[in-house]
Amino acid sequence: MSYDVLVIGGGPAGLSAALNVRARGRSVLVVSNPMEENPLWRAEKVDNYLGLPGMSGPQLLTALRRHAEEAGVEFRTGKVLNAVRMGDTWYVSIESDMENAKAIVLAAGVARGKKFPGEAEFLGRGVSYCATCDGMLYRGRPVAVLGYSDTARKEAEFLQGIGCSVTYFDRPRRCTITGGDQVEAVTCDGETVPVAGVFLLRPTMAPTDLFPGLAVENGYVTVDRKMATSLPGVFAAGDCTGGPLQVSKAAGEGLVAGQSAAGYAAEIWRKTNP
Ligand SMILES: Cc1cc2nc3c(=O)[nH]c(=O)nc-3n(C[C@H](O)[C@H](O)[C@H](O)COP(=O)(O)OP(=O)(O)OC[C@H]3O[C@@H](n4cnc5c(N)ncnc54)[C@H](O)[C@@H]3O)c2cc1C
């Protein structure tokens, strides 16, 4: 299905954006990792969100999501790998699947951690960010999974199930990927394993990996007052645009980004349906 707006990230910024797209009568899909993997899920108590003191992170997130669902926002659980624009449409890869929309709101939170040595060099030559997309290429061969979430464990089980011999590194801190034309080994926290493939399963990806060419400053997405980024039809909100890294700021920016994205989608619609 084609949407007016696709939101990447189901935290406070993404949910606020989606709610405000619906308020303008437009269709919207939120694509995100499972809610339990959102950073706010770990907050024992959120005391500085106006009007709702004392709620736990899970309580607040559940309430925000319910509000969005009741407004008609559609949801899909999964990891967005990248997005490309063709004509007036953005095509978004979600693991081995695809969705499209006229406008995007990037609300993916903060991507923590730097790339490992060898990661960029061997991307597509043994390094992958998606087990279900690329797993079959490594059937019957040794692979390493560098996992940072419960979802990553499930992806490792999937690889095992299709016949890969899997070494699982649980939240490794220091890794180096080496090889020649293709990956040959990975060393994580002092342990070296010969492998044909390395699956790097972080919950978040750098904004510039999702959108090549996107303007960023110190790792944060550059936006204007309408939360427009440097790319046509792409708006951003929340922690991914910079500090303060707080729920109220995320929700406020989400509102602006949602309204701007809905307006952008309406313009495209008018252009293509004169
Ligand atoms: C322990 C803890 C306590 C906190 N306490 C407070 C507090 O008391 N008050 C306060 O104001 N703030 C608090 N914060 C900060 C608050 O959680 C963040 O500021 C807020 O969640 C940011 O919202 P966001 O929507 O921008 O990003 P996030 O909430 O990070 O949401 C982004 C979502 O997008 C998902 N995502 C990212 N990339 C992809 C992708 N490629 N594909 C699919 N999904 C993706 C992520 O998994 C995540 O679920 C706390 C944070 C932590 C960790």
pLDDT digit string, tens, across residues 214-271: 999 999 999 999 999 999 999 999 999 999 999 999 999 999 999 999 999 999 999 9
CA separation for the pair 233, 260 (Å, rounded):
9
Q: Which residue owns the Cα nearest ligand 1 atom 35?
A: 9
> What is the C-alpha separation between 186 and 240, in angstroms, rounded?
30
In angstroms, the CA 209 to CA 216 distance is 11
Q: Would residue 119 count as lying in a domain?
A: no
Ligand 1 site, CB within 6 A: 8-14, 31-33, 37-40, 42-43, 46, 48, 79-80, 107-109, 203-205, 238-239, 245-248, 250
What's the 216 CA to ligand 1 centre distance in angstroms?
19
Are 78 and 148 within one domain?
Answer: no
For 47-126, strand residue ranges (E) read 74-77, 80-86, 89-94, 97-106
Q: Judge whether residue 122 has pLDDT over 90.
A: yes
How far is residue 65's CA from residue 19's CA, in Å, rounded to a whole number? 9
* Residue 41 predicted with pLDDT over 80: yes
Q: In this structure, which residue's CA is closest to atom 51 in ligand 1? A: 40
**Residue 135 resides in a domain:** yes
Question: What is the chain's mean pLDDT, rounded?
Answer: 95
Residue with CA nearest ligand 1 atom 7: 46
pLDDT tens digit sequence for 45-67: 999 999 999 999 999 999 999 99
What is the band of 3 on the pLDDT scale with cuts at 50, 70, 90?
very high
Among 201, 224, 249, which residue terminates a domain? 201
From 141, 171, 201, the end of a domain falls on 201
User: What is the predicted pLDDT for the residue at 213?
Assistant: 95
Establish if 120 belongs to a structural domain. Answer: no
pLDDT band at 274 (very low <50, low <70, confident <90, very high): confident
Inside any domain, residue 79? yes
Determine phi and psi for 100, rounding to 5 degrees. Answer: -140, 155
* pLDDT for the residue numbered 244: 95
Give the pLDDT score at 205.
87
My answer on whether 263 and 235 are in the same domain is yes
Claim to verify: residue 132 and residue 104 sit in the same structural domain:
no
Residues in CB range of 269: below 8 A, 6 or more apart: 4, 102
How many domains does the chain fold into?
Answer: 2
| Mutation to probe ligand 1, out of 64, 132, 148, 247 (largest number of atoms < 8 A from CB) | 247
Shared-domain flag, residues 179 and 245: no
Residues 163-173 have pLDDT tens digits of 999 999 999 99
Tell me how far the alpha carbon of residue 61 is from its chain's centroid.
17
Q: Are residues 76 and 15 in the same domain?
A: yes
Domain identity same for 88 and 224: yes
180 phi/psi in degrees, rounded to 5: -115, -105
If pLDDT is split at 50, 70 and 90, which confidence band does 112 have?
confident
The rounded distance, in Å, linking the Cα atoms of 107 and 250 is: 9
Per-residue pLDDT band at 114 (split at 50, 70, 90): confident
Alpha-carbon radius of gyration of the chain: 19
- Inform me whether the pLDDT recorded for 113 exceeds 80: no
User: SS3 string of 44-55?
Assistant: CCECCCCCCCCE
Which ligand 1 atom lies nearest to the CA of residue 203?
47
Q: What pLDDT does 151 receive?
A: 86
